[in-house]
Amino acid sequence: MNAYISKKILLMLVAFLVTAIAFAQNDYQDVVYLKTGNIIRGLIIEQVPNVSLKIETGDGSLFVLKMSEIEKMTKERPVVPQTQNQMVTLSSKDSKEAAKSAKKEMDYFKKVMKSNNVNAREKYTGLIENEELLYEIAKKYGNTDNRTTIKAVERINDEELLYDIAMEIRPMRELAVERAARSIKSHENSLECHEKNRRSTISIWISDKRQRF
Question: What tens digit of pLDDT does each residue of 27-57 get?
Answer: 678 889 888 888 888 889 888 888 888 898 8
Per-residue pLDDT at 91 exceeds 80: no
Nearest to 139 by CA among 178, 183, 111, 176: 176
Sheet order of strands, 29-34 included: 62-66, 52-56, 39-48, 29-34, 70-76
Q: How many whole angstroms separate alpha carbon 21 and alpha carbon 202? A: 6
pLDDT tens, position by position, 113-133: 999 999 999 999 999 988 889
Nearest to 82 by CA among 124, 27, 121: 27
Residue 64: what pLDDT? 86
Nearest to 31 by CA among 55, 1, 59: 55
| Domain boundaries along the sequence of the chain | 2-90, 94-186
Domain 2-90 has CATH 3.40.120.10: no
Residue 82: what pLDDT? 46
Q: pLDDT higher for 89 or 150?
A: 150
Q: What percent of the chain has pLDDT over 90?
A: 15
Q: How many whole angstroms separate alpha carbon 165 and alpha carbon 150? A: 11
Any long-range contacts for 13-18 (C-beta under 8 Å, 24+ apart)? 17/206
Q: What SS3 state is found at 53?
A: strand
Angle, helices 146-153 vs 173-212, to 10°: value is 20
Residue 77: what pLDDT? 75
67 and 44 in contact (C-beta within 8 Å)? no
